[in-house]
Amino acid sequence: MPVSILGDFNFSFKWTKFTLMKLDVIQSSRLIMFLCWFVSVLGVSQERVVTIKGSVKEKSTQKPMNNVDIRVLGKRMAQTDAFGDFRIKVSIGDELVISHDSFRTVYYTVKDDQRIDILVEDSPISSGISKDVKRVNEETYVKNLQAAKKSLNKDAAISIEYITKALEAIRDEDSAAEKKKATLYETLADIYLYWNQPDLAIDNYVISIENRFNEQVKIKLGKAYLANKNYQESLQTFTTLQKTQLNSLQKITVFEGLGDSYNGLKEKSKAIKNYNNALSLAEKENQEEAVINLNSKLADVLQDQGSLRKAEEYLGNSVELASRKSKKTSAIQRAKAADFYNKSSSFDKEIQYRKEALEDIEEITEEEENSLSSPSPVLAEDRAITSQVQNYKIANAFAAQSEYDEAIPYLEESIKKAASENDLVVQKDATRKLGEVYREKGELKKASEAFEEYEVIVDKLYIQKEQEISQANLFSRELTKKANRITTLEKDRELNEGRYKLAFQSQELANQQSVKQQIIIYALAGLMILLLLAAYLMYRNMKQQRYANNLLALKSLRSQMNPHFIFNALNSVNTFIATSDERAANKYLTDFSLLMRAVLENSEEDFIPLEKEIELLRLYVKLEHFRFQDKFEYEIIIDPDISISDYMIPPMLLQPYVENAVWHGLRYKSEKGLLSIHINKLTVDSLEIIVRDTGIGREKSKALKTVNQKKQKSQGMSNIQNRISILNKMYKDKVDVFISDLDNNTEGTQVKLILKKSA
């Protein structure tokens, strides 16, 4: 059946009332159930309200900004205090509007409940506008934008008027002006596209993208090109989108758009490839509506290529999936399937699918017959699934097979239904077809009556089309007029922007002097910081040098102690050899080698575990006792409550004190003495190590020294005192040593060493 494109502009109240009646109440019972579920979920998942803290400061001076307005549009408002701080309750995802006379308005989207610190720059342009005016402008913009979207599918002229008012409320000094313009022009393009004005929609989508690029708007631009049959431009648009970051749903739309573009350019193979890409992704993402639509499109393209078997397979998928959806979706796909079989002259299958579509359509009508609707354009798909159209096409299929008796009831039903719906186009075609059928049957009287009725309907349709053309022209002129008004408004805005800049140039010049003063202050502050940094670096270098000197001194002392210790031990070996005690010398050398290995392993460390030091000390005392068995006995007693592995001690710290006890105290005693080493716990973090001998004492030992020995200071004691001094400087008083005499300074010596646990 030929369908005139002038039907796109059919705005008669009776027709449009019926059309929107169907669009508003499809499966009303299911819709009510869904709304109830949605409201219950909404009640459970209320937006999470949080209290946000933050501050507003000048970027250049870090000075707090007082009395700055912090607003959530349509909800709450707060102001900063004398310290620039604010507190406001918001929901995650809300957009904060931070505004003041002295800076450009800042927009901030709340992502979490963390503190927000805003740094703002002075704006000479915005300083000339009061915050009350800015607040009114913001509210005017939001209110009119919402009204435009709400009336988009009801009245194009009113919706565009709201867009104009919203555009007038935008000020060039507003930091979000470009974002707002992009949104307004996108909405304006949506209006034009909805009301079948794709050429105007294209122009406004382009302006929206110029103000602010948005992938979704570019996708809409591609669809507008398709609607206007600019297939080359739509192909270029969707190809460009493939290079951007898209989510899965957007990728499906882009692949489908590429398929539509190639299909329009008659490049069927490329169209099939992109439809298949879209279908695979739609199936993966469980986008059933897209899967149905893509199966249907693949069937059409494959049929054009002659691949009827594959085409029928995709068509079957489309119809089967659609049957699980709404009655409207099912009816549309069954009607498409019928058209498919009509092309291939499979009239029986065509009739079957049209009858099934007719059943779905009758159910839709019953559900929507009591609904109210407002004027809107009639979509081609809605026209195709009317009962009068399907009855007419069923009759055509019967007539094509010369089954005229079966065709007549469907034609009569189509004429009746079309008359009740004032669908003169279908009524005309069905009446003409009825006359042809009667003529083929030889019932010339009935055929003549039908043709006479056909002429009457043609006259009515001619008058109706004239009215529709007039209405369409009026509608188009009105839209063009409003579009020109918006264009003029934008040009005026550009002129005003230059005027604003000139008006506040003097204020900028006045601020330049202040900027120079600030630069001088910052330069002086920077110089002071550099001096402080230089002083700090010098101090750090001195500290590092001092530390390095201490390490060098410790290494030097250790290098002196090790030869001293080795020489003393070798003297002992020499004594055994001199007395021809070879067996004792060998045994001594064996133990001595073990001791030397332990000493050398620890010689480079500042601290070793106390456990290792005690092992080394046991080995050393064992060697000395082996040599002077007749002079002393020894004992090493450790408090069982002490965990000696937790303490660190400088290596070879205790050995010199034990050596002194043996060589200068116990060796000269006539009777056998005692060397005792006790390790006791003092506090949680410290212990004491006591080296006590019952030798002749320090006074008698001095008296026994030769004249040469008196002139030389004890190398071992001197080294150990220097080591303790350096280590205490480096590690904050880790070791304390106290030496005292026993028995009224006559016999015996005690060395007490306090060791603190490592931090």
pLDDT exceeds cutoff 80 at 228 = yes
Choose between 588 and 316: higher pLDDT. Answer: 316
User: What is the rounded distance in angstroms from the CA atom of residue 177 to the CA atom of residue 197?
Assistant: 27
pLDDT exceeds cutoff 70 at 372 = no
In degrees, to the nearest 5, what angle opens at C-alpha 200 toward C-alphas 197 and 205?
Answer: 115
Quickly state the pLDDT bin for 538 (edges 50, 70, 90): confident
Quickly state the pLDDT bin for 483 (edges 50, 70, 90): low
* Average pLDDT for 489-497: 56
Q: Tell me the per-residue pLDDT of 720-743, one tens digit each, with 9 for 90 and over.
A: 777 777 777 777 767 888 888 887
Choose between 385 and 204: higher pLDDT. Answer: 204
Q: Pull the structure tokens for residue 433.
A: 């077809």
In 10 A of CB 8, how many CB atoms? 16
Choose between 114 and 507: higher pLDDT. Answer: 114
Q: What percent of the chain has pLDDT over 70?
A: 75
Q: At what angle do helices 582-601 and 610-627 cross, to 10 degrees?
A: 160
User: What is the rounded distance in angstroms from the CA atom of residue 170 to the CA atom of residue 191?
Assistant: 20
Choose between 623 and 232: higher pLDDT. Answer: 232
For residue 280, the SS3 value is helix
3-state secondary structure 406-427: HHHHHHHHHHHHHHHCCCHHHH
User: What is the rounded distance in angstroms from the CA atom of residue 738 to the CA atom of residue 702?
Assistant: 19
pLDDT exceeds cutoff 60 at 526 = yes
The mean pLDDT value of the chain amounts to 78
pLDDT exceeds cutoff 90 at 6 = no
pLDDT score for 8? 36
Phi-psi region of 84 (alpha: psi -120 to 50; beta: other; left: phi over 0): left
Is residue 739 within 8 Å of 717, Cβ to Cβ?
Answer: no
For residue 117, the SS3 value is strand
Q: Tell me the per-residue pLDDT of 236-261, one tens digit each, with 9 for 90 and over.
A: 999 999 888 889 899 999 999 999 99
Choose between 709 and 275: higher pLDDT. Answer: 275
pLDDT exceeds cutoff 80 at 650 = yes
* Average pLDDT for 168-189: 82
Is residue 736 within 8 Å of 753, Cβ to Cβ?
Answer: yes
Phi-psi region of 518 (alpha: psi -120 to 50; beta: other; left: phi over 0): alpha
In 10 A of CB 537, how many CB atoms? 10
pLDDT score for 266? 92
From residue 303, give the alpha-carbon distance in Å to each of 259, 311, 321, 360: 15, 6, 20, 26
From residue 56, give the alpha-carbon distance in Å to each of 84, 103, 135, 183, 525: 5, 11, 18, 28, 24
Instruction: Provide the β-strand partners of residue 71.
Output: 77, 97
pLDDT score for 329? 87
Helix count and strand count (H, E) for the chain: 26, 14
User: What is the rounded distance in angstroms from the CA atom of residue 281 to the CA atom of residue 108?
Assistant: 35
User: What is the rounded distance in angstroms from the CA atom of residue 357 to the CA atom of residue 336?
Assistant: 10
pLDDT score for 252? 92
Choose between 67 and 278: higher pLDDT. Answer: 278
Q: Tell me the per-residue pLDDT of 26-43, one tens digit each, with 9 for 90 and over.
A: 334 444 444 444 434 444
* Average pLDDT for 157-168: 83
Q: Tell me the per-residue pLDDT of 591-647, one tens digit each, with 9 for 90 and over.
A: 778 877 877 777 667 788 888 889 888 988 888 888 788 889 999 999 888 888 888
DSSP letter (8 states) at residue 35: H
pTM to 2 decimal places: 0.47
pLDDT score for 555? 56
Of 80-84, 214-218, 459-463, 708-712, minimum mean pLDDT range = 708-712
pLDDT score for 688? 92
Asked whether the CA dihedral 180, 182, 185, 187 is positive or negative, the reply is: negative
User: What is the rounded distance in angstroms from the CA atom of residue 247 to the CA atom of residue 284?
Assistant: 13
pLDDT score for 381? 53
Q: What percent of the chain has pLDDT over 90?
A: 15
Q: Which H helix or E strand runs over 403?
A: none
